[in-house]
Amino acid sequence: MLRFYFNRRIVAGLVAALSILFVLAYLSNENKLRLVANSDSVAHTLDVLFHAERVLSHAINLELGQRGYTITGNDTFLLTYAAARRRWPEELNRLRQLTVDNDLQQSRVNDLQHTLRKLTEFSDSAVQTRKVSRENAIKLNSSLEGKGLLDGVRRIVAAFQAEEHRLLAIRSGRNEIGISRYNRTFILLLVATTLILLLIFYAINVNLRARIRTENRLKIALHEIEDLYDNAPCGYHSLDENGVFVNANSTLCNWLGYKRGELLGKVRFRDIISEADQALFEESFPKFKATGAIYDMEFTLIGKDKRELPVVLSAIAIKDKDGRYLKSRSISIDNTDRKSAEMEIKNLNQELEAFTYSVSHDLRAPLRSIDGYARILQEDYSQKLDAEGERVINVIMNNARRMGKLIDDLLEFARLGRKDLQRVNVDMTGLVNSIKKELLEEQKGRSIEVDVKSLHNAPVDIDMIRQVWINLLANALKYTGKVPHAHIEISSTKSDHSVEYIVKDNGVGFDMAYVSKLFGVFQRLHRPQDFSGTGVGLAIVRRVVEKHDGQVWATGAVNQGASFHFTIPTNNG
């Protein structure tokens, strides 16, 4: 934009300068033509003056020749006389031609002709008279008629010449004004041209400097980009359609131990990955070329020195206008840390699995024995036991069973933590109604109303969410156990991104001061003798809901019921 602006100014300046030069050339030519015309008119005037002078001199010679002959009678004078008499009409004709465009001068030429004719007639008669009588001729001359006619010629010529001088002066004056105007214009235009050229020079200079600055900045930016590409903390490369390297940054080259020249155009990507990854690459590369993108592929790079480097690779394809694959823009991130972390997690998970496996086997067996043998004692030795003995045995059995339940719940809690989500869109109303039916089977004899509204569906893991509903509904049933008429309402509301489910009861409720303890493992707000329980149920609810990226919370007040809420996002990913 800036460059274009300068260019336009420069072009405009050049056009202006050239125009002025053309104007100058035109004016110079005009001036030259004027000068030529002027010198022509001066020459013309001089010509006119010359011929007028000649006419006058012929008139004088005519008179002079006649007088000389009259006085001396010498024929030599007649030669002069005859020559003058013969020539003046020629000269006069010439003069008439030269002043043909001037009416005043033409009338003067006519006057002159008239006067000269009279003079010629007088002279002729004087010469003829002299041939007869000298005295009569002198007498004729003494009449001064000749002199008067010659003076007339002189006067007319003088007037004629004065007029020509006047005309010349006018022409010269006009010419001078033209020349000085021309000179002024010329200088003005010259100055203007000079200024314009200076401006053009300045503009070009500014333009050039801006260009150099931009170029320098570009060079710096280019260098920075190259540096970013080359020395980024991740590998960059590009593969052509055959999977051959067409570009690679220094980081990747260093990882692999290849020089760039050894890679580009020579080595295929499959040549530098592990045997185990070959099938993955064979499968994913055509897919990548078709779809244009691939993300988070795990490969193990094999360096020149056979060193292994696990990387995570993502790539976007560069395609031409027709959508044909040209090359990839690929990024590889060193995955060593993540890999070892993954291994660590795997090991920890294995340990945890071994632990829970052991717990489920080894802790349950002794409990079963305690319960079982206490039962045997009760069955086989009842006649030997008194009431206290019976009570003690019941305490033993109750505790063993309670511990068994605790272990089962804990294992379930641990199991849910490790399980992967399998989301499907679940018919919540149907699910909750079937759970309600199941749980109400165990509550016969109580007055219970469970109102299941029409619930919104959501994408959930059905096994996990079933456990959530069982726990929440079982809780509601348990904590309404002491009210004469239990009322439980299950409903849902839908917002843009999630569904909120609510289980509301009219049971004993809880003190909001302890709400933070509600969802913790082994946290209970009630004594076992009031309400039995292990304190794991709500912890499982929380774990499942959080696994679904939802939230769970509760509100309530002592003896005023409780409501439990959880949300499930509907547009995950």
Partner 1 sequence: MDNNNAVEILLVEDNLDDAGLTIRALKKHNLANNLLHLQDGEEALNYLFSEKVTSIPKVILLDLKMPKVDGIEVLRKLKGDDRKRVIPVVVLTSSKEEKDIVESYKLGVNAYIVKPVDFDKFAKAISEIGFFWLLLNQPPK
- At its nearest, how many Å lie between partner 1 and the CB of residue 426? 21
Q: Which of 306, 361, 384, 444 binds partner 1 (CB under 8 A)?
A: 361
CA dihedral 396, 401, 407, 413 (to 10 degrees): -140
Count of residues of this chain found to bind partner 1 when the rule CB under 8 A is applied: 28
Out of 44, 270, 375, 526, the only residue in the binding site for partner 1 (CB under 8 A) is 375
176 torsion bin: left (phi>0), alpha (psi -120 to 50), beta (else)? alpha
Contact indicator for 208, 303 with CB cutoff of 8 Å? no
Nearer to partner 1 by Cβ, of 17 and 416: the residue is 416
Q: Name the minimum Å distance from CB 369 to partner 1.
A: 4
User: Could you say whether residue 372 binds partner 1 (CB under 8 A)?
Assistant: yes
Q: Binding to partner 1 by residue 373, rule CB under 8 A?
A: yes
Instruction: Please state the φ and ψ torsions of residue 161, each to the nearest 5 degrees.
Output: -70, -40
Residue 329 binds partner 1 (CB under 8 A): no
- Does 462 interact with partner 1 (rule: CB under 8 A)? no
Nearest CA-CA partner of 459 in 497, 512, 487: 497
Question: Starting from the edge strand earliest in sequence, which strands make up the sheet with 486-494, in order?
Answer: 448-452, 486-494, 498-505, 562-569, 552-556
Distance CA 382, CA 469 (A): 42
Please state the closest distance from residue 368 (CB atom) to partner 1, in A.
5
| Residue 157, Ramachandran bin (φ over 0: left; ψ between -120 and 50: alpha; else beta) | alpha
In angstroms, the Cα distances linking 169 to 2, 33, 45, 155, 523 are 60, 19, 10, 21, 130
User: Considering beta carbons, is residue 97 or 349 the nearer one to partner 1?
Assistant: 349
- The closest of 113, 137, 139, 143 to 124, measured between CA atoms, is 137
Among 121-129, 365-373, 382-390, 460-468, the segment contacting partner 1 (CB under 8 A) = 365-373
Q: Which parts of 484-561 are beta strand (E)?
A: 486-494, 498-505, 552-556
For residues 420 and 512, what is the distance between their CA atoms, to the nearest angstrom?
Answer: 33
In the complex, least distance from residue 543 CB atom to partner 1, rounded to whole angstroms = 17
Structure tokens at 118: 């009279």
Q: CA nearest 315: which of 338, 290, 342, 278?
A: 290
CB of 409 to partner 1, least distance (A): 12
Among 376, 424, 557, 558, binds partner 1 (CB under 8 A): 376
Give the nearer residue to partner 1 in terms of CB position, either 272 or 544. Answer: 544
User: Please, what is the minimum distance in Å from the beta carbon of residue 459 to partner 1?
Assistant: 23
To partner 1, the closest distance from the beta carbon of 466 in angstroms equals 16
46 binds partner 1 (CB under 8 A): no
408-427 footprint of partner 1 as x/- string (CB under 8 A): x--x---x------------
Residue 404 touching partner 1 (CB under 8 A): yes
Residue 221's Cβ-side half-sphere holds a number of Cα atoms within 13 Å equal to: 6
Q: According to the binding rule CB under 8 A, does residue 339 interact with partner 1? A: no
**What order do you get walking across the sheet with 245-248 strand by strand?**
245-248, 235-239, 325-334, 308-319, 293-302
What single DSSP character describes residue 24?
A: H
540 binds partner 1 (CB under 8 A): no
* Region from 254-262, 362-370, 471-479, 557-565 binding partner 1, contact rule CB under 8 A: 362-370
CB of 350 to partner 1, least distance (A): 11
Spatial neighbors of 76 by CB under 8 A, at least 6 apart, are 68
Q: Is 459 in the site for partner 1 (CB under 8 A)?
A: no
For partner 1, the closer of residues 373 and 553 by Cβ is: 373
Near partner 1 by CB under 8 A: residue from 119, 253, 263, 400 = 400
Our finding on whether 392 is near partner 1 (CB under 8 A) is no
364 binds partner 1, rule: CB under 8 A? yes
- Closer residue to partner 1 (CB): 300 or 378: 378
367 binds partner 1 (CB under 8 A): yes
Choose between 186 and 373: whose C-beta lies nearer to partner 1.
373
Give how far the C-alpha of residue 297 lies from the chain's centroid of Cα atoms, to the nearest Å: 33
Smallest distance from the beta carbon of 540 to partner 1, in angstroms? 15
Question: For residue 472, which of 569, 559, 552, 547 has the smallest C-alpha distance?
Answer: 552
Whole-number minimum distance, CB 464 to partner 1, in Å?
Answer: 14
**Contact residue for partner 1 among 166, 259, 368, 437 (CB under 8 A):** 368
CB of 393 to partner 1, least distance (A): 12
Count of positions (residues) in the chain = 573
DSSP string, 420-486: PP-EEEE-HHHHHHHHHHHHHHTTTTS-EEEEEPPPPPEEEEHHHHHHHHHHHHHHHHHHTTTSSSE
Tell the residue number behind the tokens 């990839």, with chain if given.
Answer: 328
117 in contact with partner 1 (CB under 8 A): no
Map residues 289-318 to x or -, x wherever contact with partner 1 holds by CB under 8 A.
------------------------------
Pairwise CA distance, residues 542 & 552, whole Å: 6
Stretch that binds partner 1, among 32-40, 208-216, 394-402, 500-508 (CB under 8 A): 394-402
Instruction: Based on the shown chain and the rule CB under 8 A, indicate whether residue 403 belongs to the binding site for partner 1.
Output: yes
Residue keyed to tokens 């010349």 = 168
Is 514 a binding residue for partner 1 by CB under 8 A? The answer is no
Q: Coil, strand or helix: which one is 40?
A: helix
Please, which residue, 252 or 397, has the CB nearer to partner 1? 397
In 314-335, which residue ranges form alpha helices assigned H by DSSP? none
Cβ of residue 476: shortest distance to partner 1, in angstroms? Answer: 25
Smallest distance, partner 1 to C-beta of residue 367, A? 5
Our finding on whether 357 is near partner 1 (CB under 8 A) is yes
List residues near partner 1 by CB under 8 A. Answer: 353, 356-357, 360-362, 364-369, 371-376, 397, 400-401, 403-405, 407-408, 411, 415
